[in-house]
A and B are shown apart, each in its own frame.
Chain A
Amino acid sequence: AQKVTQAQTEISVVEKEDVTLDCVYETRDTTYYLFWYKQPPSGELVFLIRRNSFDEQNEISGRYSWNFQKSTSSFNFTITASQVVDSAVYFCALSEATQGGSEKLVFGKGTKLTVNP
């Protein structure tokens, strides 16, 4: 079965510091998708990125960047020049095929990021 490990339970940084959230996954599928979601204190889950297993190019979106390395089964997330508004729990997730031909998400336990002013 698929598994996602986010070894960092909590991270605390000072504003403007860069921070990297680690994600390691396990899968036997050759085609799969990886995701990051953000859960701010208000509780909703906000989609950040989806990455296809065949696309190992790094992606940058503003202060956010993602590093996908198939060789190490990792999909790490970096926030550059962190801000207080980045404080949230961040979840890494992996798609897993179901018997019905659909996909479900398998989530890691999440990393709680606190950015202090």
Chain B
Amino acid sequence: DSGVTQTPKHLITATGQRVTLRCSPRSGDLSVYWYQQSLDQGLQFLIQYYNGEERAKGNILERFSAQQFPDLHSELNLSSLELGDSALYFCASSAREGTDTQYFGPGTRLTVL
């Protein structure tokens, strides 16, 4: 158990809908990262927050957004969902920014029908 929690574990929804994925980092970690794992793209970095501030953006679609709250939990919002958004979404956390080890949560499997 990495100490990073993600809810829900599974999510099934329809095209055009909006969903919110939630992540709680390890106790004391200030940095949260979101990654998407799909069969065709592999594991890709989406976005990072540090202590409530956005720090880095990767291949994140404009339909997707995220935030980190004062209690350090983070939410990833996915809207106008398409079939191609079906994937495993991971949250990771690290103590600080920089090259600290990122510990991953169990992931949320999103299926868009």
A residues near B (Cβ < 8 Å) are 33, 35, 37, 42-47, 50, 91, 93, 95, 98-110
Interface of B is mostly: strand
Q: Which one of B43-51, B65-73, B78-86 is at the interface? A: B43-51
> Is B2 a contact partner of A91 (Cβ separation < 8 A)?
no
Docked-complex contact A104 and B101, CB < 8 angstroms: no
Contact B48 A102 (CB under 8 A): yes
Do residues B98 and A103 form an inter-chain contact, with CB atoms below 8 A?
Answer: yes
Cβ-defined partner of B107 (8 Å) among A37, A43, A47, A109: A43
CB pair B43 A107 closer than 8 Å: yes
Asked whether, in the complex, the Cβ of B101 is within 8 Å of the Cβ of A102, the reply is no
B64 to chain A minimum Cβ distance, whole angstroms, is 16
Cβ-defined partner of A99 (8 Å) among B43, B56, B90, B102: B56
**B7 CB to closest chain A CB, in angstroms?**
14
List the B side residues contacting A108 at CB < 8 Å: 42
B residues 31-77 near A (Cβ < 8 Å) are 31, 33, 35, 42-45, 48, 50, 54-56, 58
Cβ-closest chain B residue relative to A104: B45
Q: Do B48 and A104 touch across chains, with their CB atoms under 8 A apart?
A: yes
Q: When the two chains form the complex, which single residue of B42, B104, B106 contacts A37, counting CB atoms closer than 8 Å?
A: B104
Q: CA separation between A18 and B21, bound complex, in Å?
A: 40
Known: A98-B55, A102-B56, A105-B45. A47 touches B101 (CB 8 A): yes
